[in-house]
Amino acid sequence: MGVTLTPPTPADRAQAARERREIDSSCRGPVLHYAASAVAWLLVGTTLAVVASVKLHSPYFLTGSEYLTFGRVRMAHLQAVGIGWSAMAGMGGACWLMCRLSRATLLYPKLLHVAAGLWNVGMVANVLGILAGHGRSVEWLDSPPYVAPFLVASIGIFSVWTAATFVRRREPHVYVTQWYILAAVFWFPVLYLVTVGMIFWVRSTGVMQMVVNWWFGHNYLGLWLTPMGVGAAYYLIPKIIGRPVHSYYLSIIGFWALALFYSWAGIHHLIGGPIPAWLATASTVGSMMMFIPVIAVAINHHMTMLGSFHVLRYSPALRFTVFGAMTYTAVSFQGSIESLKDFSEVAHFTHYTVAHAHLGAYGFFTMVMFGLFYYMIPRLTGREWFSARLISLHFWCDAVGISIYFVSLTVGGWWQGRMLNDPNVPFGNIVEYVRPYLFTRSVAGCLMGVGHVAFALLLVANLAGWGRKRGIGPAYFVAPAGKPAAGEPAPV
Amino acid sequence: MDRGMVIIVGALLTFASSWLGLVLLPYRQLQNQQPYTASPGDDPYPRQLSEKALAGVGVYSANGCLYCHSQQVRSARFGNWWEGGEMKTGADIRRGWGNRRTVSRDYLHDRPTLLGTMRTGPDLANVGSRYSPAWQHQHLFNPRSFNAWSTMPSFAFLYRREPVEGGKRAETALRLGREWTVNPGYRWRPTDEEWDRILASQPGLADALKAANPGHFDVATPEGKARLLDFWLTTEEADHQVVPTADADHLVAYLLELRKAETPLPEAKE
């Protein structure tokens, strides 16, 4: 846009830095509370994931324990990573981004500590309750009945606080990240209440519960995690490489198209199922229309990066974020195609869908959150990450891990689907065929687990104050071209 | 209008559109569905589950059975394969998972509805028509006692291994060889030394096994002894039995009542 700005004077810069420090110190407590809890849930969820994964190919592993039977561990895993790690990472990040972008300090941070605490209590009850046999087998909503009040109270506080921070903004320009966050903190509580109400309270008949279930399941990703992930990437990429977003107008189109079409996409999970046919068709249309926001966001993220790819060599935060942003494009294209009936006919009911879900929730969302954490946490604690090598280990374990994961289950799942569709193939052959792919997945899961342990170590070290003090430059993978590794003051 | 209001109102409207379209409309369409009665006086279909089976739904969902087993038979037009140079469709029905596709009315009384999205194991919509209660119990106790390739978890924790009181077995006790019952959930096999000790402590055992399994093998050789062990492992334990707990009974009652794809429904015709 044709606005010329006068370059800021040193005094302006100092004033802006002071303001940023003030904002960061106001939200430090709750954001770190959310972030640390999220990483704890990530470790719990990863452990559960590996247990469940091994059980699928080695049924004698930890058998005989009712608490660790596959079905319960599977439910507990989804809750721990989906509702524990992902939501808490997103909320912590959203809180900080909202404060920063609104140039507003956080009011009464103690109340957000209460919100994070409530979410954690709910999650402990959730995971332990499921393992104890109180799970409900409603995908994404497996939590025992006594969990919902904690989550609702917590998200209620969080949403009101995020909106309040936005209302108190001192920055007149509303950046696209703020739109996404504001919409997400509005969507999720409404979505959750409507769904829980319609499945468990109103007691809708038969398949109607499943329709609401998948409307929720898909929108949890589409209207809660995706806006926060995309929003965070919109903030991080331009910020780290120091260039404005490619197109302001595209970001508007991307946002509104996502709001309109993503919410219509969920029911394609029931294609071929006992639901009115027009419903699945409507959702397929919604899914295909998702090409519009995805392409808009893809152009914006990738065109902004164009010419700055060398920064990926040294900036950890950017490397994670760009990995996530690129995966977002890929996984969304794949998702749209998966909603087609002919494709779904094979891929549905197989591990192909599991691979797709992990590419979205992990390859995209989780990787962007890692990027956000690497950027945000040093600014909150005033400490740099103590080991660039460990960050590198984290990145490669996760990037290679999710790639192996995706390829093995995509290939295995596709042929599983082809064989399921041929009644001349005995069921036992399919089970045996899929086993090596599931074993490969377990290996990939362990690799990702190593990355998560590295990340947790870095976070604990940072919170414990073991890293270098900020001010002499961030922890880079390698020294940036033309700059010494440590020397120049880092941008705050 | 303030930028914040634009976002909130816009988010509300887009969200409401999908709620109206994907939730409220089908809700209204399906809300008044009634059980089907073929001719006056017939039992309406679907029937309510028995009390035992309802408790079984609880066991089914608490243990996440849904994460490997779907409960929906897809249409005769779904699922295609090549056979004799010709493309055929209707894989679910051909696999024997049901006589017809399932439709929304089949799930009228289900709560929660356990449609499922994964087929690591076979579809269960009509499993009640396929197996006997005894098969279900033994299979739940250890699926590999039927199919060596099975990766289904053992649900031995739904069963109790107990001493046989007064030499009389319970009627509900599983009829399974000791290899499956000595260590519930696993497949037990003694080491060679243990087997020697067992043979030494029960003098008549070797002869009895040999008599019951005639054939040319020499019990003095290691191969012969191993063969004897194979025979012994398939016999039931004399002093212990495995009986289902109430949870196992309920679960099996539910599985037996799963007959969603049998009774003809007019709307299921294709």
Nearest-CB residue to A71 (from B18, B65, B82)? B65
The 10s digit of each residue's pLDDT in A370-428 is: 999 999 999 999 999 989 999 999 999 999 999 999 999 999 999 999 999 999 999 99
Best mutation target among B25, B93, B111, B113 (most A Cβ atoms within 10 Å) is B113
Asked if residue B8 belongs to a domain, the reply is no
pLDDT > 70: percent of chain A: 96
Cis peptide before B26 (omega within 30 of 0): no
Note whether B162 and B229 are same-domain residues.
yes
Note whether B259 and B232 are same-domain residues.
no
- Structural domain containing residue B204: 157-245
Q: B143 to chain A, minimum CA–CA distance in Å?
A: 10
The 10s digit of each residue's pLDDT in A99-144 is: 999 999 999 999 999 999 999 999 999 999 999 999 999 999 999 9
Q: Looking at residue A483, what is its pLDDT?
A: 54
Note whether B193 and B169 are same-domain residues.
yes
In sequence order, which residues have a C-beta less than 8 Å from that of residue B20 and are 6 or more positions away?
none
What tokens does A41 get? 């849930």
Q: How many domains does one find in chain B?
A: 2
DSSP structural state of residue A383? B
On whether the CB atoms of residues B122 and B151 are closer than 8 A, the answer is no
Q: Which residue's structure tokens are 């699926």?
A: B143
On whether the CB atoms of residues A218 and A269 are closer than 8 A, the answer is yes
* SS3 at position A469: strand
φ/ψ region of A429 (left if φ > 0, alpha if ψ in -120 to 50, else beta) reads: alpha
Asked if residue B23 belongs to a domain, the reply is no
One-letter amino acid of A73: V
Asked if residue B3 belongs to a domain, the reply is no
Task: State how beta strands B159-163 and B86-89 pair.
Answer: unpaired
The span from the CA of A69 to the CA of A65, in Å, is 6
Contact A134 B110 (CB under 8 A): no
Note whether B86 and B124 are same-domain residues.
yes
Q: Which residue's structure tokens are 């099996």?
A: B252
On whether the CB atoms of residues A365 and A227 are closer than 8 A, the answer is no
Asked if residue B90 belongs to a domain, the reply is yes
A-chain residues near B5 (CB < 8 A) = none
Note whether B101 and B219 are same-domain residues.
no
Asked if residue B164 belongs to a domain, the reply is yes
Which has the closest alpha carbon to A317: A410, A240, A214, A218?
A: A240
On whether the CB atoms of residues B205 and B198 are closer than 8 A, the answer is yes
Q: For chain B, say whether A283 makes contact (Cβ under 8 Å).
A: yes
DSSP H helical ranges for A348-485? 351-358, 367-381, 388-420, 427-464
SS (H, E, C) chain B: CCHHHHHHHHHHHHHHHHHHHHHHHHHHHHHCCCCECCCCCCCCECCCCCHHHHHHHHHHHHCCHHHCCCCCCCCCCCCEEEECCEEEECHHHHCCCCCCCCCHHHHCCCCCCCCCCECCCCCCCCHHHCCCHHHHHHHHHCHHHCCCCCCCCCCHHHEEEEECHHHCCCCCCCCCCHHHHCCCCCCCCCCHHHHHHHHHHCCCHHHHHHHHCCCCCCCCCHHHHHHHHHHHHCCCCCCEEEEECHHHHHHHHHHHHCCCCCCCCHHHCC
| Bridge partner residues of B80 (DSSP) | B89
Q: What CATH number did the domain enclosing B126 receive?
A: 1.10.760.10
> What's the CA angle centered on A76, arms A74 and A79, to 5 degrees?
110
Note whether B255 and B193 are same-domain residues.
no
Q: For chain A, say whether B157 makes contact (Cβ under 8 Å).
A: yes
Note whether B56 and B118 are same-domain residues.
yes
Of the CA atoms within 13 Å of residue A274, those in its CB half-sphere come to 31
Note whether B169 and B223 are same-domain residues.
yes
The span from the CA of A218 to the CA of A224, in Å, is 10
Asked if residue B151 belongs to a domain, the reply is no
Rg (CA), chain B: 26
Asked if residue B2 belongs to a domain, the reply is no
Fold entry, domain A15-174 = Four Helix Bundle (Hemerythrin (Met), subunit A) (1.20.120)
Nearest-CB residue to A208 (from B12, B30, B122)? B30
Q: Check whether A490 has a pLDDT greater than 60.
A: no
B-chain residues near A420 (CB < 8 A) = 79, 91, 119
A-chain residues near B68 (CB < 8 A) = 70-71
Say which residue, A5 or B30, is predicted with more confidence: B30
Contact A272 B74 (CB under 8 A): yes
Nearest-CB residue to A207 (from B7, B91, B107)? B107
* SS3 at position A363: helix
> In this prediction, does ipTM exceed 0.85?
yes
Asked if residue B7 belongs to a domain, the reply is no
Where residue A472 falls among pLDDT bands split at 50, 70, 90?
low
Note whether B260 and B225 are same-domain residues.
no
Q: For chain B, say whether A328 makes contact (Cβ under 8 Å).
A: no
Note whether B241 and B198 are same-domain residues.
yes
Q: From the centroid of its chain, how far is CA A232? A: 10
Note whether B129 and B172 are same-domain residues.
no
What angle separates helix A226-241 from helix A291-305, to the nearest 10 degrees? 20
Best mutation target among A75, A181, A207, A434 (most B Cβ atoms within 10 Å) is A207
Locate the domains of chain A by residue range: 15-174
- Arithmetic mean of pLDDT over chain A: 93
The 10s digit of each residue's pLDDT in A248-278 is: 899 999 999 999 999 999 898 888 889 998 9
Note whether B172 and B235 are same-domain residues.
yes
